[in-house]
Amino acid sequence: MKECGNYLWLKIAYIICMTLAFMDKTQFFPWYMKYAMMVAVIGLGFLMLLYTGNFRHVAYLFEAVFVLNLAYIAMIIFSVLLWIREFQTMTFISRGCSTILYLMLGVGCVISSVYMFREKAVEYTFIAMVLGNTVILFQAAVNQGIGTIFQDLSVFIRSGFVETPPFIRALEIHDLTFGITFYCLYYLICIRKHKRNVIYFGIAFFFTILGVKRIALAAVGVILVIYGLMKLLSDNSAFRIAKIIWIPAVLICYFYVYSVHGTLLDRVVEYFNIDMMGRQELYDYFRSYYQFSPTYVGKGIGYITRTIEQLTEASVGIFGEHYFGSMHNDILLYYIELGFIGFFCWIWYHFRTRILWIWKSGGKEAGLIMLYAAVYLFITYTTDNTSVYSFVQITSILLPLAEAVNYRDKLEGGEMLEH
- The SS3 call for residue 31 is coil
Distance CA 350, CA 111 (A): 18
Q: How far apart are CA 109 and CA 143, in angstroms?
A: 32
DSSP one-letter string for 117-166? HTTHHHHHHHHHHHHHHHHHHHHHHHHH-HHHHHHHHHHHHHTTS----H
pLDDT < 50 positions in the chain: 414-419
**4-23 burial, b if ≥16 CB within 10 A, otherwise e?**
beebeebbeebbebbbbbbb
**CA gap 168, 156 in Å, rounded:** 8
Inter-residue contact 375 to 185 (CB < 8 Å): no
Question: In 3D, which of 413, 409, 390 has the Cα closest to residue 104?
Answer: 390
> Contact 401/64 with Cβ under 8 angstroms?
yes
**What pLDDT score was predicted for residue 419?**
34
Report the candidate in 366, 381, 330 with the shortest Cα–Cα distance to residue 218. 381
Its pTM stands at 0.93
For 392-405, how does the pLDDT look when each residue is reduced to its tens digit (9 = 90+)? 999 999 999 999 99
Q: How far apart are CA 367 and CA 119, in angstroms?
A: 15
**Vertex 177, ends 249 and 364: CA angle to 5°?**
45
